[in-house]
Amino acid sequence: MTDPTDSPVPAMFEHCSTIYQKMLRDSTPEVINVLGKDGSTSTEATGYAIYEGYLTSLFSEAGMAAPYYTTVTKMLRNMGCAEQVSRGGGAKKSKWRLITEPTEELYMKADAIGSGREPTSKTAMNTKQVNDLTKRVDLLEEQMTALLESLMAEEAK
């Protein structure tokens, strides 16, 4: 007999996990250019993976209908598992940074926050705030790297 307190895994969580795994399978390690104190540049791994491709193809490969696209990608973002670096469209591939694998705990917290229900704990709100701040810092680092590269290119002229 099964334990009645065991709740079944939501199908949407399974969809999110499936798409994340397919993105991870087709990803490459993210590297950034780092400016040294002496003005030299080097590359450094960020610890994240970058998926660049057509998500619609992954959904098709997974046997999921197109209407799941928006919900799954939104949940991956809300869980802090992935963030979109650049949008695709037409022949242009989308680019996603893969941060952490989906877990049931992340899913339940993100679902509660995303649905407007009261989060189950302060931890859920703190997790969302940390994820939001991490995204902002990552964006600032990318912008600073691009700015420094641009300045170095002008100096080299």
- pLDDT tens digit sequence for 104-140: 999 988 876 665 444 455 666 677 777 777 888 888 8
- In angstroms, the CA 142 to CA 138 distance is 6
What is the rounded CA–CA span in Å between residue 67 and residue 86?
Answer: 21
Residue 37: count other Cβ atoms within 10 Å of its Cβ: 5
Contact by Cβ (8 Å): 54, 93: yes
pLDDT band at 2 (very low <50, low <70, confident <90, very high): very low
What pLDDT does residue 83 have? 94
Q: Which of 124, 137, 101 is nearest to 17 (CA)?
A: 101
pLDDT at 24: 96
Residue 46 pLDDT > 70: yes
Average confidence (pLDDT) over 62-84: 92
pTM, two decimal places = 0.64
Q: Is 112 exposed, middle or buried (0-12, 13-18, 19+ CB in 10 A)?
A: middle
Rounded average pLDDT over 82-91: 90
What pLDDT score does 113 carry? 65
Query: 143: closest CA among 32, 61, 18?
Result: 32
Where in the chain are the domains? Answer: 11-156
pLDDT score, position 122: 62
pLDDT > 80? residue 54: yes
Average pLDDT, the chain: 84
Mean pLDDT for 47-75 is: 91
**Inter-CA distances, 101 with 8, 54, 79, 98, 157, Å:** 19, 20, 9, 8, 44
* Separation CA 119–CA 127 (nearest Å): 11
Which pLDDT band holds residue 156 (cuts at 50, 70, 90)?
Answer: confident
Q: Which amino acid is at 151?
A: L
- Give the C-alpha separation, 2 to 136, whole Å: 44
